[in-house]
């Protein structure tokens, strides 16, 4: 129902401190999808890594976010360079955004165990807004007479990523340019603010067939509350993962994953809202596949788990 779409938009507006701050796509399993938010991650897995994710948020609420992500990144053989490509489609109510990104990283050895990667991202964002999907109070309002169609906004981003076989720390800003979107009447409809990401995690060997990995992701942007995601995952027999996650003042999640083969990993997460928004939906679902080729097994003693 269109009225549900309006209800969703009102909830979002009234829970944001700064209405013009446009949020990036949200992920629960961010630790496996780091190249989308940090270009320095490209090539860090010493393999060609192909990743696909689909997220449907706030199930049962019409117009709720739906996100599809595809990425590919790989190191360049006999060099310290990594390259990557990503495609993210994010749909919320009447808006449909597609972001295309290209990553380039350069890695240096800072010690026997640790590597430090520097990355840059070039991207283009395509925005469409179809006002006919809204239950408009005044259909004659000039601001809703012309849809936003194929508005392109180029951008650049950067990041750093320090990692070893069992630890990672990253800092990034995937879009450094603040861009505004306008409809055909030059009416202001959306503005993208800079999002800063900090992520970190460590894998502890509890015994010969059990590993434990706590991790965190912090997202900061002007005019919006600080977003903190905390997770704790266990890896059993280097095959099966299970854990929980908490998005501060937002959601509690359950995560599972399975290493189907040496190259294929499958993961799923379910989010249960911890806010009043839980009264209007039945949770969020997220599933992903990661397929890796040409892995350098001699350089990795055990699965990286991130």
Percent share of the chain, pLDDT over 70 = 82
pLDDT tens by residue, 200-223: 999 999 998 999 999 999 999 988
Q: Lowest-confidence range among 35-39, 230-234, 259-263, 269-273?
A: 259-263
pLDDT of residue 133: 75
DSSP structural state of residue 304: -
In a domain, 65, yes or no: yes
List 266's β-bridge partners, or say none: 258, 289
> Would the pLDDT of 165 be above 80?
yes
Residue 302 lies in a domain: no
User: What average pLDDT is seen over the chain?
Assistant: 85
Q: 253 versus 12: which is more confidently predicted?
A: 253
Average pLDDT over residues 270-292: 94
Q: Is residue 269 over pLDDT 90?
A: yes
Q: Which residue's structure tokens are 């310290």?
A: 80
* Structure token pair of residue 239: 């095959």
Tell me whether residue 12 is in a domain: no
Q: Print the domain residue range for 177.
A: 42-293
Pairing outcome for strands 264-273 and 95-109: unpaired
Tokens of 235: 């890896």
* Confidence band, pLDDT 50/70/90 cuts, at residue 63: confident
pLDDT at residue 164, rounded to an integer: 94
**How much is the pLDDT for 243?**
96
Residue 74 in domain: yes
Which domain CATH number covers 274?
2.40.160.60
Q: Please report the pLDDT score of residue 178 as a whole number.
A: 82
Q: How many angstroms from the chain centroid is the CA of residue 270?
A: 15
Token digits of residue 223: 């005019």
Is 4 part of a structural domain of the chain? no
Q: How far is CA 287 from the centre of its chain?
A: 13
Q: Which helix H or strand E contains 198, and what residues bound it? A: strand 195-202
Determine the pLDDT at residue 305: 64
Q: How many domains does the chain have?
A: 1
Res 20: pLDDT: 39
Closest CA to 85 of 47, 42, 55: 42
- Look at residue 35 and tell me if it is in a domain: no
Domain membership of residue 27 (yes or no) is no
Confidence of residue 170 (pLDDT cuts 50, 70, 90): very high
Q: Is residue 5 part of a domain?
A: no
pLDDT confidence of residue 26: 87
If you average pLDDT over residues 1-25, what whole number do you get?
A: 46
Q: What is the pLDDT of residue 134?
A: 75
């Amino acid at each position: 129902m269109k009225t549900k779409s309006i209800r969703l938009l009102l909830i979002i507006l009234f829970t944001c401190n700064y209405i013009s701050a446009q949020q990036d796509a949200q992920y629960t399993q961010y630790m496996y999808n780091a190249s989308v938010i940090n270009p320095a991650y490209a090539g860090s897995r010493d393999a060609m890594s192909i990743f696909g994710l689909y997220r449907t948020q706030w199930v049962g609420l019409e117009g709720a976010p739906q996100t599809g992500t595809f990425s590919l990144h790989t190191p360049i053989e006999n060099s310290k360079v990594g390259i990557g490509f990503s495609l993210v489609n994010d749909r919320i109510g009447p808006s449909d955004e597609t972001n295309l990104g290209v990553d380039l990283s350069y890695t240096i050895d800072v010690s026997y165990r640790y590597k430090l990667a520097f990355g840059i991202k070039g991207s283009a964002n395509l925005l469409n807004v179809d006002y006919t999907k809204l239950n408009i109070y005044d259909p004659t309002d000039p601001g809703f007479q012309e849809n936003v169609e194929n508005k392109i906004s180029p951008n650049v981003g950067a990041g750093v990523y320090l990692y070893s076989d069992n630890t990672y720390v990253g800092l990034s800003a995937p879009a450094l340019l603040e861009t505004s979107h306008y409809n055909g009447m030059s009416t202001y409809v959306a503005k993208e603010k800079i999002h800063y990401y900090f992520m970190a995690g460590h894998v502890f060997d509890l015994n010969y067939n059990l590993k434990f990995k706590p991790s965190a992701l912090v997202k900061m942007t002007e005019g919006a509350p600080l977003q903190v995601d905390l997770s704790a995952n266990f890896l059993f027999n280097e095959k099966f993962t299970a854990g929980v996650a908490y998005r501060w003042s937002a959601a509690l999640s359950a995560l599972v994953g399975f290493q189907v083969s040496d190259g294929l990993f499958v993961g799923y997460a379910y989010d249960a809202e911890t806010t009043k928004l839980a009264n209007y939906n039945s949770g969020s679902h997220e599933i992903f596949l990661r397929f890796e080729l040409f892995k350098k097994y001699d350089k990795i003693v055990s699965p990286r788990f991130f």
